[in-house]
Amino acid sequence: MKNISRYSESDNDNTVRNSLTVIIAKLERMLYPWLKPSYDGVYELQTALQKDSIGIVMTVGNKYFYVAENLIISLRTVLNVTIPVEVYYAGADDLSPNRINVLCELPLVDVVDIQTIFPLETANVTGWAIKAWALLASRFETVLFMDADITFLENPMSVLESPLFVKNRLLFFHDRKLHHPGSFPGIRLLKEMNPQLSKYGANLFFSRSQKIHGTTNEMESGFIVLDRSDTGVFFSLLLTAKMNAQLEREKVLYQKVHGDKESFWFATETLRVPYAFVPDYAGSIGIEDSSTYGNARMIQLCHGKLLHLNEDRNPFWFHAGSVLHGDYRNAVPPHYFGFSVLVDMVFHYDANSIYDDPWNSNIGCITQERWQSAKVDTRQAKLIQSYKNIFVKDIKRVD
């Protein structure tokens, strides 16, 4: 039989492949112009990862220098975490040379200016938005992202054995569950991006925020665990970075939600990438007090740190300034501590309740009603004391 095709099968394959390569290159230049000059395209960025590597990524500016130093030393000396750490900052005004040198002297710590990797976009990046770019720039396949001001009550490496992470390769933690009556712009943005939410996404409290038991804060981005070698996770991270680019964040994202946090799960939900949240919403850890309203005595905890549980419902980590008191962001040695009376310190946490949130109107206090609570145990108290000791003995003033 006569072959009526002008090309052989291999010719057709090469023609299609070349056409697709041109189309993909155009789309990449349109969507991700900031990959250059460091990377020619998405494939080069993805294959730049160190195979089977596991590491910690942090973003640190001058305001968070002391808590970051404390966290790294705590990981090494108290929790025996030995994996490498990448610290990212954004230009000379963000982190001083002397402070960079101090961090570089810590074991297995690399300090990187994010503006040298994605200069077309990160020349104007500040604050929360740096997180997405740092995660995209990291050389590690598996990343434990940590805000500089978080504190662990369990070894963070345990999260790698979490069934939710093992299954999904992407694990998030909930923020506080805060009720917002009426229409909320964050949910409108999500549904404009993705009119048909997945079954999982549609059942999250945030997605129900126009109903009585919704929330305006679904995700806490202080601790994120992700496997960047997973293609779905990698592309969701690309979308997260695009949402945190200057135009998108200033004109859209940060106008609708509180900072970067929701962009991580918005991206995964929109791309239908598997993800999971540790079930419980954030609670609080601190020192309780009681108030009397008429004949009723109310137990509440005010101005504590946001507390997160692991899958076993044990206290795992807390946020907002390590063990320091007051405006830790600008604090210099000598430091002052918020947890001064360990015997009276308790933690309160949400049992994933369907009820309205128990936070009061200024979101600084939670009440005992509908919450579980427990005293800090001896082991947790010793950990907290160890972190305080590091501030006292090892953290020196650096200009």
Same domain, 336 and 199: no
Q: What's the confidence (pLDDT) of residue 365?
A: 75
* Backbone Cα Rg of the chain: 23
- Type of residue found at 184: F
pLDDT at 277 over 90: yes
Same domain, 120 and 243: yes
Q: What's the confidence (pLDDT) of residue 4?
A: 47
Same domain, 54 and 140: yes
Find where tokens 């740190």 sit.
Answer: 305
Q: Which residues on neighbouring strands pair with residue 299, listed in sequence order?
A: 290
**Any residues with CB less than 8 A from the CB of 320 and at least 6 apart, and which?**
149, 305, 306
Q: What's the confidence (pLDDT) of residue 329?
A: 64
Segment 78-105 shows an average pLDDT of 97
Tens digits of residue pLDDT in 4-49: 455 455 667 788 888 888 888 888 888 899 999 999 899 999 999 9
Q: What's the confidence (pLDDT) of residue 290?
A: 67
Sign of the Cα torsion 117, 120, 125, 129 reads negative
Segment 78-94 shows an average pLDDT of 96
pLDDT at 354 over 60: no
| CATH code, domain with 124 | 3.90.550
Q: What's the confidence (pLDDT) of residue 352?
A: 56
Assess if residue 35 is contained within a domain: no
Same domain, 135 and 100: yes
Reported as a pLDDT band with limits 50, 70 and 90, residue 357 is low
Q: What's the confidence (pLDDT) of residue 123?
A: 86
Same domain, 52 and 155: yes
In 3D, which of 57, 21, 56, 58 has the Cα closest to residue 42? 21
Assess if residue 97 is contained within a domain: yes
Q: Helices (DSSP H) in 271-340: which residue ranges?
A: none
Strands 170-174 and 276-277: parallel
Identify the domain containing residue 319 by its residue range.
283-378
Same domain, 188 and 265: yes
Q: How many domains does the chain have?
A: 2
Tens digits of residue pLDDT in 197-242: 999 998 888 887 655 555 778 899 999 999 999 999 999 999 999 9
Q: What's the confidence (pLDDT) of residue 344?
A: 65
pTM of the model: 0.91
Cα→Cα distances 362→178, 318, 328, 359, 366, Å: 11, 20, 20, 8, 10
Q: Is the pLDDT higher at 370 or at 164? A: 164
Please say which residue of 277, 292, 316 terminates a domain.
277
Of these ranges, 161-165, 294-298, 357-361, the one predicted with the greatest mean pLDDT is 161-165
Q: What's the confidence (pLDDT) of residue 326?
A: 67
**Any residues with CB less than 8 A from the CB of 140 and at least 6 apart, and which?**
49, 50, 53, 54, 55, 57, 84, 86, 228
Same domain, 265 and 288: no
Q: Which residues on neighbouring strands pair with residue 60, listed in sequence order?
A: none
In 3D, which of 138, 236, 233 has the Cα closest to residue 194? 236
Reported as a pLDDT band with limits 50, 70 and 90, residue 287 is confident
- Cα distance between residue 67 and residue 47, in whole Å: 33
The per-residue pLDDT of the chain, averaged, comes to 86
Q: What's the confidence (pLDDT) of residue 1?
A: 44
Same domain, 288 and 143: no
Assess if residue 9 is contained within a domain: no
Same domain, 272 and 288: no
Assess if residue 394 is contained within a domain: no
Assess if residue 392 is contained within a domain: no
Same domain, 108 and 254: yes
Assess if residue 124 is contained within a domain: yes
Answer yes or no: are the C-beta atoms of 74 and 68 closer than 8 Å. Answer: no
Same domain, 216 and 123: yes
Assess if residue 315 is contained within a domain: yes
Same domain, 226 and 88: yes
**Any residues with CB less than 8 A from the CB of 333 and at least 6 apart, and which?**
66, 391, 395, 396, 397
Q: What's the confidence (pLDDT) of residue 327?
A: 64
Assess if residue 15 is contained within a domain: no
